[in-house]
Amino acid sequence: MVFAMALTGIAMSLNYKIMNLKETMDTFINGLTLMLLASVILLLSWTLNNIAKEMYLADYLVKTQGSR
């Protein structure tokens, strides 16, 4: 689905002469780079969340903060 939308955007950009082929492909690659970065951040946050749950980190923090 996403790939089809990307191809549609590329085709429209070229068809309506908004950008030439080089500009279109540079924009597409820059977009992929940004989405990859966002995906990595999301994946790492899910991983950190799962690790914190498995280690019962919230319970530990409540116990240690309550004893002060």
Domain locations in the chain as residue ranges: 22-68
Q: What is the phi/psi pair of residue 67, to 5°?
A: -85, -5
pLDDT (tens digit, 9 = 90+) per residue, 15-62? 999 999 999 999 999 999 999 999 999 999 999 999 999 999 999 999
The pTM assigned to this predicted structure is 0.69
Angle of CA points 6, 12, 35, to nearest 5°: 25
Buried b / exposed e along 22-52 (16+ C-beta atoms within 10 A):
eebeeebeeeeeeeeeeeeeeeeeeeeeeee
* 11 close to 29: Cβ distance less than 8 angstroms: no
